[in-house]
Amino acid sequence: MKISQRQWVVPAVAGWMACIALPASAADAQALLTQHRCYICHADREPVTGPAFADVAAQLRSRRDASADLAREIRGGLARGGPWHMPPHPEISQAEATVMAHYILDLAESAPTAPAPGAR
C-alpha cells in the first residue's frame, strides 16, 4: 500500500464506512490502517514501536469480546507501562475501529509465514 494511493482510497473508504452494514474486506481495513498511520508504529507480522498485529491477535483471539476491546483501545489509546504507549485516535469512528479490529484479529488465523500482500 503506497502512501500516494491515499488520495483516492480515503474518500472511497469513507464512503463505504458510511454504511456499516457492508462487510469490509481486508483491503478496506489495510486502507484504514494506512490512512490513520497505524503502520508507522505497527506492522502486521513484526513488532515495530508497537506490537505486531498478528501477535496481538494470537493473544486475544480466544476472548469473545476481543474486537470490541480492540476497537475501544484503538480509539482511546493504551498505556500499559512500557517505554511507548498507544496514542488515542478520537477521530476514528466506531465503525472504522471495528473494521480494523476484525482485520487485526483475523491475522491470527493465517500462517505467520504467508504474509503475501493482498492475500486474504
Q: Which residues bind ligand HEC (CB under 6 A)?
A: 33, 36-38, 40-42, 49-51, 56, 70, 73-74, 78-80, 82, 84-87, 89, 92, 100, 104
Please report where in the chains the cell 479490529 appears, as a residue. 101
The cell numbers describing 107, all together, are 491475522
**Least distance from ligand HEC to the Cβ atom of residue 69, Å:** 6
Please report where in the chains the cell 483516492 appears, as a residue. 8
What are the DSSP calls for 8-53, one per residue? HHHHHHHHHHT-TTSPPPHHHHHHHHHHTTGGGT--SSS-SSSPPH
Instruction: Output 56 or 95, the one with its CB closest to ligand HEC.
Output: 56
Instruction: Output 11 or 82, the one with its CB closest to ligand HEC.
Output: 82
**Least distance from ligand HEC to the Cβ atom of residue 56, Å:** 4
**Least distance from ligand HEC to the Cβ atom of residue 44, Å:** 11
Q: What is the DSSP letter of 111?
A: -
